Structure 1
């Protein structure tokens, strides 16, 4: 039994059917939570050390690292049964959408720091850090997440191409004996 099946078996039945129906969104959210930790870990590591005077640059580097992690997890897990494009084409579209999402993510942090002047010496250090986290890791990331989910489903992993991947998953020779557990759509 997979981890997802184990968790879902413990969820009350009415909620379980909703989660199964929206499993792509749930998987995308789990990947998002993972990349949120990667993003913020790298951002604060850079921002508090080698890029102390360049928080927006540190955030951009952190987003790029998190985006690479996101591609691997989304293509291999969240949207595994969608898509069907050649890997290089899929990756190019993924990183194009993610590039636009990086800009979307950076806008609130840029506005906070350089338009509203929420930085030292205009505000105390703790206020600067709260403003950075709120604008860069909450507002920016939520806006980028909505954009990415829409863009990934529409262009990177479209459902109309997904039959190729689903058919390959159903072919025992293609999966080399691996068991695939998917919950039926309802």
Structure 2
């Protein structure tokens, strides 16, 4: 029974991590959406340029939220490494998100405001978010993620040994 509680505890921690990441992401989504639409419709900038600007502002917002809330218990001793990796993976997410916008707008000719918002803020952001969650958890804010993964492996190994007794 203690193994079940341990697994349950770890799953609950993972669920809290995902919920916090999602809450920070929701704020980032609102920032991204607003900045994108202000740039496109208010300043009449090109859609991909607007998308890159909006994503960059959202990345800054998300870093603050993830560093100081979602992953606040992670190792802070190597902040420059963390920031470099965060920017690297965020940049990859930016390319995913705005690459889908560019493909939709310029490649497929879907140029309405609704099509641009769906391409960038639904499809692109959705795929980018999954990539970012994986990469931040795996490479950027490692201490908590590695601890969770190691504890899952340890619990699984213990369960297998106990099953063979």
Relative to the length of structure 1, the TM-score reads 0.69
1:160 to partner: Cα distance:
6.4
Any runs of at least 4 consecutive aligned residues in structure 1 with deviations exceeding 4 A, and if so which? 17-21, 160-163
- The partner residue of 1:154 within 122, 138, 145 is 138
Contact 1:97 1:151 survives alignment (8 Å): yes
Task: Give the Cα–Cα distance (whole angstroms) in 1 for the partners of residues 54 and 138 of structure 2.
Answer: 25
Quick one: distance in 2 between partners of 1:145 and 1:101? 7
1:16-65 alpha-carbon deviations (Å, 9 max, x no partner)? x9765511100000000000000111111111122x25011001001000
**Total equivalences in the alignment:** 138
Q: How does 1:104-119 map to 2 (within 5 A)?
A: 104-119=96-111
Whether the 8 Å CA contact 2:137–2:145 is kept in 1: the answer is no
CA distance in structure 1 between the partners assigned to 2:91 and 2:65 by the alignment: 17
**Structure 2: gaps of 5 or more residues:** 1-9, 148-165
- Alpha-carbon distance, 1:103 to partner: 0.3
Give the aligned partner of residue 52 of structure 2.
Answer: 60
Q: How has the CA–CA distance of structure 1 residues 57 and 70 changed in structure 2, closer, same or farther, with 3 Å as cutoff? A: same
- State the TM-score, normalizing by the size of structure 2: 0.77
Post-superposition offset of 1:82 = 2.4
Q: Please tell me whether the aligned partners of residues 39 and 45 of structure 2 are also in contact (alpha carbons under 8 angstroms).
A: no
* Equivalent residue runs for 1:88-167 within 5 Å: 88-119=80-111, 128-159=112-143
More helix as a share of residues: 2
CA distance in 1, matches of 2:90, 2:14: 26
Asked if the contact 1:82–1:162 (Cα under 8 Å) also holds between the matched residues in 2, the reply is no
1:145 CA drift (Å):
0.3
Q: Given the superposition, is the C-alpha separation of residues 115 and 21 from structure 1 closer, same or farther in structure 2, using an over 3 Å criterion? A: closer
